[in-house]
Amino acid sequence: MLTQLQIRAAEARDKPYKLADRDGLYLTVLPSGAKSWRYNHRLAGKAQTKTYGQWPTLSLADARAAHAAYRAGTLATPQPGPDRAATPTFEAAAVAWLADYLPTIRKGKNQSSVPASLEQHVYPKIGRQRIDHITRVQLVDLVKAIYASGKQETAYKVAQRITQVFDHAVDTGRIDAHPAGRLTRVLGAKTVTHHPCVPPDQAGALLRAIAAYPDLITRAGLLLAAHTFVRTDELRSAPWVEFDRGKAALWTIPGARIKMAEDHEVPLSRQVLRLLKDLAVYTGEGALLLPGANTPRRPISENTLLFALYRLGYKGAHTVHGFRALASTVLNESGLWRPDVIERQLDHRERDNSRRPYNRADYLAERRQMMQWWSDWLDAAQAQAPRPAA
């Protein structure tokens, strides 16, 4: 049986793993660090996985109590006939969808947030119903109630996930049709959330504040975010092996790491090469560019850089993602660089890779010049000096 100490000490690994408790109850530890209580069993000859919730929200004692109650209810329920055995409950269909979907998710936090959203908002309403008995009206009422509670973004995500579960059930032959098509259309307008970004004339003050930030690794991370304007996850999870600091001066982000068919190449300016040289003194012996302070085998958390900006007084004024918006604004307004070159460096590619083949060398020479110009622009802004020419 598990103990509280074992649960707290269980660290994330590259792949999910299980810690067995008793009576079939076990704790799954995901690569994201999330820990989920689950139970595998068979009902009417079909494999089922029951998910109770996440630790520490659901304690060990509460998980055991929920497990005992579920087992008692399952054993007391008459075994279904052939037709019921062939058609799963919504929860069983969702578990099957998650098994196929979760390995494709790009962000590690979604490994826990996607199942959690179903556990919180959907399973209590329709989880134990046969999926072919669920009506459109039930689904509409469910997502509208979430929207009406003020959780607009959650309502949209839940609606999308419900549709995906039903689509998966159709695709795998569990049902022939479903009532969840275009479920998001019944919701009101979604408030668009923009990533705050300082205007170009305030970029210098921001950079000077970052340059004075006391933690070296966090400071380097923010400056690299400014100079390379890559996505936050691409930066914080970057290993040293992706950087060619020699003649090529190129950071190659593998497509497999960002769920793309092709790699993303980031030319390294002279300023970025100096940043990497200084950073290598502190983290170059390890695998990761920006390791966590307490967990050096894992990257800094997704909030480390953002909270540093908060501490500098930029909460609501600028985010890490805001460097992408800042770069896009300045580069486009300069009139020096073709829009296609800027968009390519921002990695605004069609996510459906079947749409067109991609040439890795597209605009690379121009992008090298542009990225050096951008770093020079940042330096001039920080020093309050005249802006660089092309």
Catalytic residues: 231, 259, 321, 324, 348, 358
Q: Which helix (H) or strand (E) holds 27?
A: strand 25-29
The contacts of residue 10 (CB under 8 Å, 6+ apart) are 19, 27, 29, 35
- Two tokens, residue 166: 């039903």
CA distances from 253 to 124, 263, 349 (A): 41, 6, 14
Residue 291, helix vs strand vs coil: strand
Helix, strand, coil percentages for the chain (3-state, nearest 5): 50, 10, 40
Burial of 258 (0-12, 13-18, 19+ CB in 10 A): middle
| Continuous H helices in the chain | 4-9, 60-76, 82-86, 90-101, 110-121, 123-126, 136-148, 152-171, 203-211, 216-228, 232-236, 270-283, 304-311, 322-334, 339-345, 364-383
The contacts of residue 361 (CB under 8 Å, 6+ apart) are none
Backbone angles phi, psi at 29, to 5 degrees: -105, 115
